A and B are shown apart, each in its own frame.
Chain A
Amino acid sequence: MSMRRDEALVELSGVTKVYGEGTGMVTGLADVSLRVGAGEFLGIMGPTGGGKTTLINLIGGLDRPTRGTVRVADHQLERAPEDVIRLLRRRHIGVVFQAFNLLPSLSALENVALPLLADGLARRAAEPRARAALEQVHLVERAAARPAELSGGEQQRVALARALIADPMLLLADEPTGCLDTRTGAEMVDLLLRAHRLRGVTIILVTHDERIATACTRTVTVADGAIVADRRRPVGSTAGG
């Protein structure tokens, strides 16, 4: 991934996303522009239905904008072929959803190894790396467990290990602690912060939780499909930093 130094890692300009057609039309985002630099830990906040998920899906190339442009690194996602976008996600973007992140029929270890296997890596080569990734989320002893045998917090940690296994430059997380209690949620945030600090991965995280937001280097508030606030924290004030 080549990038000029002054260029942002993620750049949205004039992005509008409209769902449905005719009378059933719903605007998810309206004319949103946003730049996210490499190394940022960006929190996206705002009321339910405001457009946070829409925003993160467009950045991850899971969906395409109705109007406007979305650039990640040197890819223009609004016009990139689907297979190129998938390759980008496979190698450079990790995603963690609020729930249902894991394939129920696979073990934790296999779930974590999935992006490597999907990239054509042999099982033999993928498994040690998956084991190491599980170790980083303190779950290596649960490697053989199926998702149904894991707690909600454990499942999210497995999802995080999977999102990080390919050593991505960007991690997208849509309310990853939304289904967790305060304590397991805090554990998850600690792991995200560590990944940010130690790997330098850029993180864009949707959250409702003010305490999590204080850990971010920057927070953006999205409401009614528009960015209504954009606050940067002074360098050095990052919690846990």
Chain B
Amino acid sequence: MAVAGHRAALGDSRGHPVVIIGYDAAVSAAHGARITVINGDERDLLLRVARREGVMVSDTFSRRFGLGPGDTVFLSTPDGERGFPILAVVLDYSVDLGTVVLDASAYREFWGDASVTSYEVWAAPDEDPRALRQRVSERIGYAVPVLTSRDMRAEFDGQLDHAMSIAYATELASGVIALFSVVNFIVVATHDRRREIALWGAIGTSRRTIERILHCEACLVGGLGGLFGVLLGGVTSYLVVRGAVPLVSGWWLEYRFPGSAALLAVPITIAVAAVSAVLPARRAARLPLVEALGTL
């Protein structure tokens, strides 16, 4: 078992509030803490932070102040302003203000503040995280929440799902609307082509063949529509996740194309089109020819 103590505090960068994190980089690095680097050299990053070569800043900070690797961030300390070279921009959703992450020992030294905001506990390889959690809770008292990283992730996921639930509802609604428009399109398309379909019949095309042609066309329309929808949905969702969401919420989410859902979308639209074509095709194939051909 190993323990790292981290400190998060409100700080000041040239009159702007920022969050300063005193991060136990040495212990975290030794236990393989994972940090997602957006910009900058990620090799030995935590060790370099531990050696006080510089600091990491969050993507929100980087965007807010327009600073990145190679730049210097200036922070107010009780002894006056101090500059820290930025080593990397890293992913951190915790606050919109933007965070500056420096080594815990440096924070303690420059700010004269030895308090700890959170402890990170690493279980030994053969240790059960739940049992460990129980032991920690018992030792420090139940007033302090103790979460396993899995619980924590589940909680974040739950929050994210909650935030996205409106999107899911919209998704469902648009799915239903799309379904109706496929049905509508096929009904209208066959109705608009009554004369053409009657012409097929007039030159002797059997009703079964006409039905088959209309079914094939419907499947083609469904397939193309599904493909087009997947492409358009892919582009739009990318723009939302990488453009709108960071702009509105400050969350820089990783974009992942929902491959299996996209793969399913095409056969589903084909099936919907095929099913919705059955009745219109049947009716079209049985049109009274003279009436449908109109006045000739």
Task: Specify which of A57, A86, A103 is in contact with B290 (CB 8 Å cutoff).
Answer: A57
User: For residue B290, which residues in chain A have a CB less than 8 angstroms away from its CB?
Assistant: 57, 62-63
| Residue of B whose beta carbon sits closest to that of A174 | B296
* Closest Cβ–Cβ distance, residue A96 to chain B (whole Å): 10
Contacting pair A100 B195 (CB below 8 A): yes
CB interface residues, B 199-223, toward A, < 8 Å: 199-209
Contacting pair B289 A62 (CB below 8 A): yes
B53 at the interface (CB under 8 A from A): no
Task: Specify which of B196, B200, B293, B296 is in contact with A118 (CB 8 Å cutoff).
Answer: B200
Residue interface bits B262-296, CB-to-A below 8 A is 1, else 0 = 00000000000000000000000000111001101
User: For residue A98, which residues in chain B have a CB less than 8 angstroms away from its CB?
Assistant: 296
Contacting pair A118 B206 (CB below 8 A): yes
User: For residue B202, which residues in chain A have a CB less than 8 angstroms away from its CB?
Assistant: 60, 62, 89, 95, 97
Instruction: Give the number of residue pairs across the A-B interface with Cβ within 8 Å.
Output: 63
Contacting pair A86 B205 (CB below 8 A): yes
Q: For the complex, would chain B's binding face be called helix, strand, loop or mixed by DSSP majority?
A: helix
Contacting pair A86 B206 (CB below 8 A): yes
User: For residue B206, which residues in chain A have a CB less than 8 angstroms away from its CB?
Assistant: 83, 86-87, 90, 118
Q: In the complex, which range does the number of interface residues on chain A fall in? A: 20 to 34
CB interface residues, A 90-108, toward B, < 8 Å: 90-91, 93, 95, 97-101, 103-104
A88 at the interface (CB under 8 A from B): yes
A76 at the interface (CB under 8 A from B): no
| Residue of B whose beta carbon sits closest to that of A101 | B199
Of the candidates A88, A98, A103, A104, the one having the most CB atoms from chain B within 10 angstroms of its own CB is A103
* Closest Cβ–Cβ distance, residue B294 to chain A (whole Å): 8
| Residue of A whose beta carbon sits closest to that of B204 | A90
Measured in the bound complex, the distance between the Cα atoms of B204 and A93 in whole Å is: 9
* Closest Cβ–Cβ distance, residue B212 to chain A (whole Å): 11
Contacting pair B203 A63 (CB below 8 A): no
User: For residue A187, which residues in chain B have a CB less than 8 angstroms away from its CB?
Assistant: none
User: For residue A86, which residues in chain B have a CB less than 8 angstroms away from its CB?
Assistant: 201, 204-207
User: For residue A82, which residues in chain B have a CB less than 8 angstroms away from its CB?
Assistant: 207
Measured in the bound complex, the distance between the Cα atoms of B200 and A172 in whole Å is: 16
Contacting pair B289 A63 (CB below 8 A): yes
| Residue of A whose beta carbon sits closest to that of B289 | A62
* Closest Cβ–Cβ distance, residue B28 to chain A (whole Å): 67
Q: In the complex, which range does the number of interface residues on chain B fall in? A: 10 to 19
Measured in the bound complex, the distance between the Cα atoms of B205 and A228 in whole Å is: 35
User: For residue A99, which residues in chain B have a CB less than 8 angstroms away from its CB?
Assistant: 296
A221 at the interface (CB under 8 A from B): no
Given A101-B199, A118-B209, also A53-B296 (CB < 8 A): yes
A225 at the interface (CB under 8 A from B): no
A162 at the interface (CB under 8 A from B): yes
Given A62-B290, A63-B290, also A115-B203 (CB < 8 A): yes
Measured in the bound complex, the distance between the Cα atoms of B203 and A163 in whole Å is: 8
User: For residue A192, which residues in chain B have a CB less than 8 angstroms away from its CB?
Assistant: none
User: For residue A53, which residues in chain B have a CB less than 8 angstroms away from its CB?
Assistant: 296
CB interface residues, A 16-67, toward B, < 8 Å: 53, 57, 60, 62-63
Measured in the bound complex, the distance between the Cα atoms of B204 and A60 in whole Å is: 10
Contacting pair B199 A90 (CB below 8 A): no
User: For residue B205, which residues in chain A have a CB less than 8 angstroms away from its CB?
Assistant: 86, 90, 114, 118
Measured in the bound complex, the distance between the Cα atoms of B200 and A89 in whole Å is: 11
User: For residue A89, which residues in chain B have a CB less than 8 angstroms away from its CB?
Assistant: 202-204
Given A53-B296, A62-B289, A97-B296, also A118-B195 (CB < 8 A): no
Measured in the bound complex, the distance between the Cα atoms of B288 and A98 in whole Å is: 19
Contacting pair A118 B289 (CB below 8 A): no
Given A57-B290, A63-B289, also A95-B195 (CB < 8 A): no
CB interface residues, A 140-162, toward B, < 8 Å: 162
* Closest Cβ–Cβ distance, residue B233 to chain A (whole Å): 29
Measured in the bound complex, the distance between the Cα atoms of B206 and A93 in whole Å is: 14
* Closest Cβ–Cβ distance, residue B224 to chain A (whole Å): 16
Given A98-B296, A174-B296, also A91-B204 (CB < 8 A): yes
Contacting pair B296 A114 (CB below 8 A): no
Chain A residues within 8 Å of B, Cβ to Cβ? 53, 57, 60, 62-63, 82-83, 86-91, 93, 95, 97-101, 103-104, 114-115, 118-119, 162-163, 174
15 A-B residue pairs with Cβ-Cβ distance under 8 Å, sorted by A, are: A53-B296, A57-B290, A60-B202, A62-B202, A63-B289, A83-B207, A86-B206, A87-B206, A88-B204, A95-B203, A97-B202, A100-B199, A100-B296, A101-B199, A114-B205
The 7 closest A-B pairs by CB, nearest first: A90-B204, A89-B204, A118-B205, A63-B290, A97-B296, A62-B289, A86-B204
Excluding A87-B204, A95-B202, A114-B200, 10 further A-B contacts by CB distance (< 8 Å) are: A53-B296, A62-B290, A63-B288, A63-B290, A93-B204, A95-B203, A97-B296, A101-B199, A115-B204, A118-B200
